[in-house]
Amino acid sequence: MATQHSRSAAKLMNAPAVFLLLVWMLVPLCMTLYFSFLDYRPLRGVYEWADGFENYARFVSSSSFTDSVLTTLIMVGGILMITVIGGVLLALLLDQPIWGQGIVRILVIAPFFVMPTVSALVWKNMFMNPVNGLFAYLWKFFGATPIDWLSQAPIFSIVWIVSWQWLPFATLILLTAIQSLDSEQMEAAEMDGASALSRFAYITLPHLARAITVVVLIQTIFLLSIFAEIFVTTNGAFGTRTLTYLVYQRVLESQNIGLGSAGGIIAVILANIVAIFLMRIVGKNLDN
Amino acid sequence: MAREVSRRRKTVVTIIAWAIGLLIFFPILWTILTSFKTEAEAIADPPSLFFFDWTLENYEVVGERSNYGKFLWNSVILAVGSTIFGLMIAIPSAWSMAFQPGKRTKDVMMWMLSTKMMPAVGVLFPIYILARNTGLFDTHILLIVVLMLMNLPIIIWMLYTYFKEIPVDILEAARMDGASLKSEIIYVLTPMALPGIASTMLLNIILAWNEAFWTLNLTTINAAPLTAFIASYSSPEGLFYAKLSAASTMAIAPILIMGWFSQKQLVRGLTFGAVK
Amino acid sequence: MGRITLKDVTKSFGETQVIPPLNLEINDGEFVVFVGPSGCGKSTLLRLIAGLEDVTSGSININDMDATNIPPAKRGLAMVFQSYALYPHMSVRKNIGFPLKMAGIEGAQATKKIDEAAKVLNLTDYLDRKPGQLSGGQRQRVAIGRAIVREPDAFLFDEPLSNLDAALRVNMRLEISELHHQLKTTMIYVTHDQVEAMTMADKIVVLRAGNIEQVGSPIELYKNPQNLFVAGFIGSPKMNFINGTSALEYDAHTIGVRPEHLRASKSEGVWKGVVGVSEHLGSDTFLRVNVDGIEDGLVVRAEGDVELYHGDTVYLSPENDSRIYKFDRNGQAI
């Protein structure tokens, strides 16, 4: 169905999307790149060329950078572990015949639709507050001293909150993948005498491998830029400053644009390394 | 192929699944319940789950706050506006890539996806300064455009996968029947892809509604949506649990309902078609 | 008017040429069937005429107007697709009325035309249903109805019956032929089924690998196939081919005899063989006979009540020497 007419029409119809995305990507990115070579601090009225890669060198060599990368890795890693393992288990559970499956599904999926600022605030105040939070009551009920979660275990708390939000995502996708598993394959394995555990290890898990990879990659991309949860809960204090948050603070809070922009470019590069792997998988899918 | 499972096993699995489901849902349930309590009951020790004096007072207070309506309205404008704008650009684009694939179509699609991978923080300042200098800071139009661009790759991808399922024959039949390109899209493609377009729309509204980077950083008062409103409860107002809960419930309820309706189609959009 | 002329038309997809230079003339009111095995380019050829694909080179004239670069909507043709391609979201009435709507014809005039088409096709009772609620045959008729209301210069059919079951196919075949007698409009019909070609066509175009092997009326093709391919393709069961000494007796590289032109005898004949499978259809019996020196054996049509079964010895001979087709080394008829 390709004719000269339809092909040129297609180009025309694709043009707005391509153009807008091109502008959206290139213009700000080039500007960030430009700013990253400036010593630009509007509050002090400084606006001049930086000394070569000075901003990059300063950003990378500062201890806050190393700390933020470490924090980011711990957070993202922790959330991925919880959501992927939890997601596989939950998906297996929800795949079983149960009464009221639809309702349970809805209950499990709900957190994904909760606004990040809401979930952060609800957890922060109503659960993790050391005086009136529900956890405090629970601790007191068992005779323990309530914990001030956000200052005593800040990273864990944020990992917990974000995992709660993303567990449904992982579950939903893994459940979809499990349901696409050919049941005859399972039955054949059962006839061959495979136990439930080896059926899981040799059939279900390999079948899920691709979905798990997709979950890991997509979540990583989103998690690398978690913002609202930190903004609302700790505001970057208590060692919860991720790379994204560090750049945000440099740019908008301390208004050191040059330094922040260099950090931004570094964040883009790191995110792209993950993105390349994701794109390979998605790209393969386009072929068939 | 479905086999009879023993009743006992089903009962046990059901109980476990329900327990876990309720546990995961509990924070939301708790928020909803608290929103009907008085402030005193909200922090009562021991906390009560259902047995308290139900009141709508918190909703009245939050609703009466002069600006709540504005935040809500802003959320609606931004979510719906960016979705409609996005669909207007995405439908022709997805049409052309699904039905007129060329040699570079695959590359274009991958490139579009790659724009989604760019961390927002990398372009925060340029967008911020451009917004400031053009006077668009804290306006609906700016946020609509930014949210639209942010979700455009997802919309295009999602529509693409739905369009791919429409038999080309039918579009060709329309062409043979004398339909112009415009009529082909309006009278044949769009109605046939309506379920797909609807779930794409829903996902986009959800994503736009919950977006909490640009909405927090590019607004102050005029265009600030509910994400910013809730963030303002961060302190010290957040300690009024009942009111916080009422505000939160109102902020998440519409999306929760939409999300439940569209959950089956979401996977496709969220994984760019990599998991079906 | 529906005169279509293809002049030096070629089509390539990337590097592969699927249609080498091809010339064809289709006269007004003719029922032309493109027939050939799958992948022979017959559907591509139809789509080139429809304008759904661009020709790589050459020109297509419709009614002596150069239509090569005219979009499909403006060529004045109507097409019926293999998959019916009905609009699933529209009622039958709206489906049939769609081309009218696109032409700007609405209201009473459109209703009248739709009703007429529905009457011709026995669809009057189904006008308010959606395509999903119709049987395969009814869907096919809706697709035809949609083509009729356009009052096209020519109808294009792309294997329209291949999704129907055998009984329905015979019925629809008759209906389409009848329609042609009624409308007297040019029809171009693509099929891989030589029975459809033989029964419906005024003119058959046999295609192989994008090449036209032969053009002619059904009887011409049956009686005078120009080469082995056409000889083997037209006629059912297919013609028997014999190489070697038997062929040399006729000064040919290969000879062909149709099953209906062979005689089976229990006592004497040219070729002696053993019955492999005998298919008793009642009216006829087809015997597959294994003959020494003939690789594929021979198929013969015998009387319905012939008493020959698996393992019986049988003698076969051509009914008449004029019914023997002779081919040279290159497969061309001598």
Looking at residue B164, which CATH number applies to its domain? 1.10.3720.10
* Within-domain flag for C47: yes
Check whether residue B150 and residue B236 sit in a common domain. Answer: yes
Check whether residue C106 and residue C153 sit in a common domain. Answer: yes
* Within-domain flag for A13: no
- Burial-class residue B276 by CB neighbours within 10 Å (0-12, 13-18, 19+): exposed
* Within-domain flag for B1: no
Check whether residue B83 and residue B137 sit in a common domain. Answer: yes
CA distances from C33 to B91, C156, C214 (A): 39, 10, 12
* Within-domain flag for B275: no
Q: Give the chain B residue nearest C85 (alpha carbons).
A: B170
Check whether residue C207 and residue C257 sit in a common domain. Answer: no
* Within-domain flag for B2: no
Final residue in a domain of this structure, among B59, B76, B100:
B59
Check whether residue B38 and residue B153 sit in a common domain. Answer: no
Once rounded to an integer, what is the mean pLDDT over residues B109-113?
A: 83
* Within-domain flag for A254: yes
Once rounded to an integer, what is the mean pLDDT over residues B163-188?
A: 88
Check whether residue C209 and residue C275 sit in a common domain. Answer: no
Considering its fold, how many domains does chain C have in total? 2
Looking at residue C286, which CATH number applies to its domain? 2.40.50.140
Residue with tokens 């308010």: C128
User: In angstroms, rounded to a whole number, what is the distance separating the alpha carbons of residues C320 and B208?
Assistant: 83
Final residue in a domain of this structure, among C183, C207, C230:
C230
Considering its fold, how many domains does chain A have in total? 1
- The answer to whether the CB of A4 falls within 8 A of the CB of C54 is yes
Check whether residue B13 and residue B37 sit in a common domain. Answer: yes
Q: Which long-range contacts (CB under 8 A, 24 or more apart) does C112-121 make?
A: C113/C149, C114/C145, C114/C149, C117/C145, C117/C148, C117/C149, C118/C92, C118/C93, C118/C145, C120/C145, C120/C148, C120/C179, C120/C182, C121/C145, C121/C148, C121/C175
Q: What percent of chain A has pLDDT over 90?
A: 8
**Contact residues of A toward C, CB < 8 A:** 1-5
Check whether residue B162 and residue B39 sit in a common domain. Answer: no
* Within-domain flag for A8: no
C chain contacts of residue A4, beta-carbon cutoff 8 Å: 54, 69
Check whether residue C169 and residue C317 sit in a common domain. Answer: no
Q: What domain range includes position A151?
A: 59-287
Q: Which one is predicted more confidently, B118 or A264?
A: A264
* Within-domain flag for A31: no
Check whether residue B123 and residue B51 sit in a common domain. Answer: no
Check whether residue C132 and residue C166 sit in a common domain. Answer: yes
Final residue in a domain of this structure, among C177, C208, C230:
C230
- CB distance B178–C89 less than 8 Å? no
Check whether residue B21 and residue B157 sit in a common domain. Answer: no
> CB-CB: which of B5, B121, B260 is closest to A106?
B260
- The answer to whether the CB of C26 falls within 8 A of the CB of C71 is no
pLDDT at B238: 59
- CB distance C51–A3 less than 8 Å? yes
Check whether residue C16 and residue C131 sit in a common domain. Answer: yes
User: In angstroms, rounded to a whole number, what is the distance separating the alpha carbons of residues C142 and B65?
Assistant: 61
- The alpha carbon of residue A7 is apart from the nearest alpha carbon of chain C, in Å, by 11
In this prediction the pTM is 0.80
pLDDT tens track for A146-166: 788 877 888 888 899 999 999
* Within-domain flag for C333: no
- Give residues with Cβ within 8 angstroms of C129, minimum separation 6: C91, C92
* Within-domain flag for A53: no
- The alpha carbon of residue A256 is apart from the nearest alpha carbon of chain B, in Å, by 10
Q: Does residue B2 have a pLDDT over 60?
A: no
Looking at residue A134, which CATH number applies to its domain? 1.10.3720.10
Q: What domain range includes position B46?
A: 7-59
- Give residues with Cβ within 8 angstroms of B46, minimum separation 6: A137, A141
pLDDT at A78: 92
Q: What domain range includes position C40?
A: 4-230
Check whether residue C27 and residue C151 sit in a common domain. Answer: yes
* Within-domain flag for C285: yes
Check whether residue C128 and residue C225 sit in a common domain. Answer: yes
pLDDT tens track for C198-239: 999 999 999 998 889 999 999 999 999 999 999 999 988 889
ipTM: 0.81
Q: Give the chain A residue nearest B40 (alpha carbons).
A: A132
- The alpha carbon of residue C25 is apart from the nearest alpha carbon of chain A, in Å, by 23
Considering its fold, how many domains does chain B have in total? 2
pLDDT tens track for C314-332: 998 888 888 889 998 888 8
**Separate counts of helices (H) and strands (E) for chain B:** 14, 0
**Contact residues of B toward C, CB < 8 A:** 167, 169-170, 172-180, 183, 187-188, 191-192, 194
Final residue in a domain of this structure, among C193, C211, C230:
C230
pLDDT at C334: 82
Check whether residue B46 and residue B107 sit in a common domain. Answer: no
Of B158-167, B227-236, C38-47, the range with the lowest mean pLDDT is B227-236
C chain contacts of residue B169, beta-carbon cutoff 8 Å: 81-83, 85
* Within-domain flag for C334: no
* Confidence tier at B136 by pLDDT (50, 70, 90): confident
Given its phi and psi angles, is residue C209 left (phi above 0), alpha (psi -120 to 50 degrees) or beta?
Answer: left
* Within-domain flag for C332: no
Once rounded to an integer, what is the mean pLDDT over residues A228-256?
A: 81
Check whether residue C162 and residue C213 sit in a common domain. Answer: yes
pLDDT tens track for A109-129: 889 888 888 888 888 888 887
